[in-house]
Amino acid sequence: MADIKLLNPINIRKKDKSVDLKYQPGFSQIAWLCLIVLYAPIVVLVMFSFNANRSVTTWTEFSWDWYIKAWHNEGIQSAAFISFEVATISAVLATIMATMAALVTTRITPYWGMNSAITIINQPLMVPEIVTAVATLVFFAAIRKATGVTGIGYLIAAHTCFCIPFAYMPIKARLEGMNLNLEHAAADLYASPIQTFRRVTLPLLMPGIVSGAMLAFIVSIDDVVISLFVAGPGETTLPLFILGQIRRGVTPEVNAVATVFLIISVILVTFIFLFGKNKK
Amino acid sequence: MKKTIISLVAATGLSVAASGAMAAGTLNIYNWGDYTSPEMIKAFEEKYDIKVNVDDFDSMETMLAKVSEGASGYDIVVPGDATVKVMIDKGLLAKVQPNKMANFKNVDEKWVDVYWDQGRDYSIPYQWGTTSFTVDTDVYKGDINTLALMFDAPKELKGRINMLNDMGDVINAGLRYLGYERCNSNRAQMKELYELLVKAKADWRTMDYSIIEKLTSRDVDLSQGWNGASKRARKDRPTLSYAYPKEGFTGWMDNLAVLKEAPNMDNAKLFMNYMMTPKAAALASNFANYANGIKGTEKFMTADLNSSREIVIPAGAPAPEFVPPCDQSVTDLYTLVWTNLKK
């Protein structure tokens, strides 16, 4: 990082325009195209959430009606509450486990099978979601039949599992970037491993943990496929609620909910970004 | 930080406990999304002091997948006509004998001896409708009550047609147009059907379920689809008209049924009996925009529902045809035609 800063960027541009990716022919056109394809549908979705009409395709005039309707819709209220509850608990549990996993895979000398362990932790990123979903459905149904235990715990457990790798990645990256000398110094000064962890490692690790927790929260609140198969009675999350509306025709009420969702996501992502940046 | 985490965990833990510790009377319903009237549920909750949870599914397949695994926790499900038969055959439904319940007298006789549940030992009518198509009568001014509009499109409608992305609905419409039997295993006739579909497909713009959006955005001028959806689309585009083709069209019925493993069996039976009262059935219809199979609901239904062309089948139109699930060999033949058509 530091040595790049020493070079004058203007000189680089002048000298190496031919090798800088940014100046390759078509670069900015393709970049703009990608941005438009990604964001234009979202802009349209947000726009039609303010449509006075009940159509999501023909514009009439501006109104807040759909936001007010969505706010008073009991189905949306309870779905939002359940989503929030599941995402919060899952994110907390996943982050605790991910932190432990990250410590075990960075802070000790590599051991036989460590790479396999990392692969297993990241398994939810690689196995197709529908496979995990069907497998979880069958597995949980067997447990429910055997024990008679029901409730939202199953949904939380499933969410915790697939959130772990998302929390794990930023925490591990942070740990790898941290200066080991600080921990060694603490040990030299007779700090016990627990004291070192609490006074040195954990505070330095906090930005990674917070980013990880927020990422896990977003991933959980977004999830459709696994929730669809695992959710029991009275456990409709917000994405499931929206999915259920689609066959009978989407109304701007769904756009309004999606827009609120989007704003929350943007705020969280911005927060993760700023938090990561300040503590570097 | 640590304190806030602990209090967060404690708070959410408490709320889990609270939502788990419901009163003794609960009932869990699993239905299509946006298809259960909140007013009707509220009336039931107040009358019987039972807390009702309504969850949505997005397709019959999702519902069947979850329910077949067992221990789903649901009491009431709302399967379509063919699915009721499948679920009875699989032993998933409880034989609760609604035909012996007090309010069964309100069920319209024509919905009692149905192919999917002869005599109604397992299920009761919830909502029923038809699958035909909707045309913009400003674009096409001729007679709309013929399947020729989809399979031999007039020039105004060429390239302006949306078909349902549904094997059964497209093939059944084609068979009706050719005048052949449904569940057809005659290879020569199916070959003729395939050629018809391939030729017609050149005039189709899309094959998609989102018919309301397709029609109201003026993406297409004709769309195959359900009567209730057509009614909703007409609100935004008043020149639309629902066709009752002379060659025939499909009828369908969604039914209330109780799962064999229902945790709240008694409440489920109460609910079934309640749903056979004209008031409750009318509330369901007012919300979902379809007809129900209960007698005497007219006075509780909105005037709009009682008179609209999409819901009330006009005199002279053929009766809707309820198509039972076909044999495996027929389904295989259909799948062959369908996959080739979609290539």
The per-residue pLDDT for B216 is: 87
Class of domain B24-128+252-307: alpha beta
Low-confidence winner among A237-246, B39-48, B235-244 (lowest mean pLDDT)? A237-246
Spell out the per-residue pLDDT of chain A, length 280, in tens: 444 444 455 555 555 666 777 777 888 899 999 999 999 999 998 998 998 877 677 788 888 988 998 899 888 899 999 999 999 999 999 999 999 999 999 887 888 888 898 999 888 889 999 999 999 999 999 999 999 888 999 999 999 999 999 999 999 999 998 888 888 899 899 999 899 999 999 999 998 999 999 999 999 998 999 999 999 999 999 999 988 887 666 778 888 988 998 898 888 888 877 876 665 4
Q: Which of A30, A63, A96 is the last residue of a domain?
A: A63
The per-residue pLDDT for B18 is: 39
Question: Distance between CA B112 and CA A110 in Å, rounded?
Answer: 71
Probe site for chain B from A55, A58, A69, A72 (most B CB atoms < 10 A): A55
Assign domain B130-251+316-342 to its CATH superfamily: Periplasmic binding protein-like II (3.40.190.10)
Angle of helix A153-177 relative to helix A129-147, nearest 10 degrees? 130
Statement to judge: residues A225 and A101 lie in one domain = yes
Of B20-34, B115-129, B306-320, highest mean pLDDT: B115-129
Please report, for the domain that includes residue A149, its CATH number: 1.10.3720.10
Statement to judge: residues A108 and A29 lie in one domain = no
Statement to judge: residues A82 and A44 lie in one domain = no
* In-domain check, residue A4: no
Statement to judge: residues A97 and A230 lie in one domain = yes
Question: Distance between CA B252 and CA B201 in Å, rounded?
Answer: 25
* In-domain check, residue A237: yes
Is A14 at the interface with chain B, CB within 8 A?
A: no
The per-residue pLDDT for B236 is: 84
DSSP class of residue A251? Answer: -
The per-residue pLDDT for B205 is: 94
CA-to-CA dists, residue A138 to A132, B1, B71, B224, B252, angstroms:
10, 38, 10, 37, 31
For residue B114, the SS3 value is strand
Q: What's the whole-number average pLDDT of chain A?
A: 86
Statement to judge: residues A135 and A52 lie in one domain = no
The per-residue pLDDT for B14 is: 41
Question: Distance between CA A27 and CA B301 in Å, rounded?
Answer: 61
Range of the domain at A29: 22-63
> Chain A residue closest to B66 (CA)?
A229
**Out of B9, B53, B218, whose CB is closest to A234?**
B53
**Out of A229, A243, A247, whose CB is closest to B66?**
A229
* In-domain check, residue A13: no
What are the pLDDT digits (tens) for B250-265? Answer: 999 999 999 999 999 9
With beta carbons under 8 A apart, name residues in chain A contacting B30: 233
Statement to judge: residues A29 and A119 lie in one domain = no
Cβ–Cβ pairs < 8 A, chains A and B: 115
Q: Which of A63, A93, A114 is the last residue of a domain?
A: A63
From B127, B225, B219, B130, select the one nearest A55 (Cα to Cα): B219
With beta carbons under 8 A apart, name residues in chain A contacting B35: 248
Q: Would you tell me which residues 75-94 of chain A have a C-beta closer than 8 angstroms to some C-beta of chain B?
A: 75, 85, 88-89, 92
The per-residue pLDDT for A154 is: 95
Statement to judge: residues A140 and A26 lie in one domain = no
Statement to judge: residues A49 and A76 lie in one domain = no
What are the pLDDT digits (tens) for B182-228? Answer: 999 999 999 999 999 999 999 999 998 888 888 988 889 999 999 98
With beta carbons under 8 A apart, name residues in chain B contacting A54: 235-236
The per-residue pLDDT for B24 is: 55
* In-domain check, residue A12: no
Q: Name the minimum distance, in Å, from the CA of A96 to any CA of chain B.
A: 11
Using DSSP bridges, classify how beta strands B222-226 and B161-163 pair: parallel, antiparallel or unpaired. parallel
The per-residue pLDDT for A279 is: 53
Average of pLDDT values for B292-306? 92
The per-residue pLDDT for A16 is: 60
From B318, B144, B323, B339, select the one nearest B224 (Cα to Cα): B144
With a cut of 70, say whether residue B10 has pLDDT above it: no
Q: Name the minimum distance, in Å, from the CA of A121 to any CA of chain B.
A: 24
* In-domain check, residue A6: no
CA-to-CA dists, residue A55 to A58, A67, A68, B205, B302, angstroms:
6, 15, 16, 21, 22
B181: CB partners within 8 A, 6+ apart: B175
**Out of A88, A144, A244, whose CB is closest to B12?**
A88
Residue A231 CB burial class (10 angstroms; 0-12, 13-18, ≥19): buried
Statement to judge: residues A82 and A48 lie in one domain = no
Statement to judge: residues A48 and A183 lie in one domain = no
The per-residue pLDDT for B270 is: 96
Predicted confidence band of residue B19 (pLDDT cuts 50, 70, 90) = very low
Q: Name the minimum distance, in Å, from the CA of B17 to any CA of chain A.
A: 10
Within 13 Å of residue B37, how many CA atoms lie on the same side as its CB? 20
Statement to judge: residues A138 and A179 lie in one domain = yes
What are the pLDDT digits (tens) for B140-188? Answer: 999 999 999 999 999 999 999 999 988 999 999 999 999 999 999 999 9
The per-residue pLDDT for A254 is: 86
Detail the DSSP E strand segments found in chain B.
26-32, 51-57, 76-77, 113-114, 117-118, 123-136, 161-163, 204-207, 222-226, 240-243, 250-258
Parts of chain B belonging to CATH 3.40.190.10:
24-128+252-307, 130-251+316-342
Question: Distance between CA B145 and CA B161 in Å, rounded?
Answer: 16
Statement to judge: residues A172 and A152 lie in one domain = yes
Q: Name the minimum distance, in Å, from the CA of A56 to any CA of chain B.
A: 7
